Amino acid sequence: MRDNSFCAELDEAPLVATDGNAEWARPLADTGSRIARHRERRANAVMKTAIIELLGIRYPIVQGGMMWIGRAELASAVSNAGGLGILTALTQPTPDELCREIDRCRAMTPLRRQPDKSPPYADYARAIIDSGVRVVETAGNVPREFFHQFKTAGIKIVHKCVAVRHALSAERAGVDAVSIDGFECAGHPGEEDVPNMVLIPAALRTVKIPIIASGGIGNGRGMAAALALSAQGVNMGTRFMVTREAPLHDNIKQALVNASERDTTLLLRTMNDTSRVYSNSVARQVVEIERRLGGARFEDVRPLVAGLRGKEAYETGDIERGVIAAGLVIGLIDDVPSCAELIERMVTECRAHLRQALGWFDAGPRSD
């Protein structure tokens, strides 16, 4: 497909000055200026997808809700950069402390931020509503009992799921959008092992509400692929962990930078509660226990996978202290940018890759 607006500007004046005459040279110079202005306008062009419209954000990039990581520092940085930042409610031990964290985040950004929910559900739901949050993400079993409260308060609901049937269930329950995790994702990818190149198109065949692609996305190339699949936005957890604002020790960030796409492992597969994590000594020990003759019970690995051990790893920088959630995308991470730098770079790369792909259809007839 040709970029007609670009071609029209080229056609407005001669492209070649043959005799050095100033009258001939001026159209060429003017054309160059117009091209430069056109490129600047294109670089600053506003994106528009259903997720952007629904959530009121500049770019269709959502920060994943991560235990111990989804705090005000990261959520505000993502929101200030034009994405949607998420506060993870369970990171806060009480609803009152969640309210304080929301207030702290609000003081750090004028944009919207999104807390996840956690037990005690009713109290956390009330804290979310009373704090004036405009977007909430839910996960796991669809919490229908709170949807009426959220809707009455004008809150948009995004539900995270890992299968098409779960997305359809959430749609029937009245959520505004779904964020679908492919098998590449960190944390809980479900038990069906379907990657995004199949999962997103499969969901789009039946799901009518906007879909956010999640799992394996960490740069503009991945964002372009998701939009080409007709997802309306992208969700990133692991990539936002490795930013300057993410509240975890630099040792953990550097370990993820140094890792490859082969450096994750799947825990709790034998218990139908699969988690994708960074392959450290703790994770490998859990896998060994699961593989032993006769199998394993959760109680056998509980001390190793305890959440507080992971929190201590994030805070102290001891990469071997506990389980560290990480997706396959660690193989694509090679720096620790600010959230603003990351988002702007992704959007620029995304545009370039989409244009490049369209250009392959406008290459003209084959010479042979």
Residue whose C-alpha is closest to residue 64's, from 255, 266, 240: 240
At 313-355, the pLDDT tens digits run 999 999 999 999 999 999 999 999 999 999 999 999 999 999 9
Residue whose C-alpha is closest to residue 34's, from 58, 6, 3, 56: 6
pLDDT tens, N- to C-terminus, the chain (368 residues): 333 222 222 222 222 222 333 333 333 334 444 444 445 445 455 788 999 999 999 999 999 989 899 999 999 999 999 999 999 998 899 999 999 999 999 898 754 434 443 467 889 899 999 999 999 999 888 888 899 999 999 999 999 999 999 999 999 999 999 999 999 999 999 999 999 999 999 999 999 999 999 999 999 999 999 999 999 999 999 999 999 999 999 999 999 999 999 999 999 999 999 999 999 999 999 999 999 988 899 999 999 998 889 999 999 999 999 999 999 999 999 999 999 999 999 999 999 999 999 998 876 666 65
Q: What is the DSSP letter of 130?
A: H
Pairwise CA distance, residues 329 & 9, whole Å: 40
Output the pTM of the full model: 0.81
Tokens for 355, please give them: 């244009």
**To the nearest whole number, what is the mean pLDDT of the chain?**
85
Contact at 8 Å (CB) between 133 and 102?
yes
Pairwise CA distance, residues 262 & 219, whole Å: 18
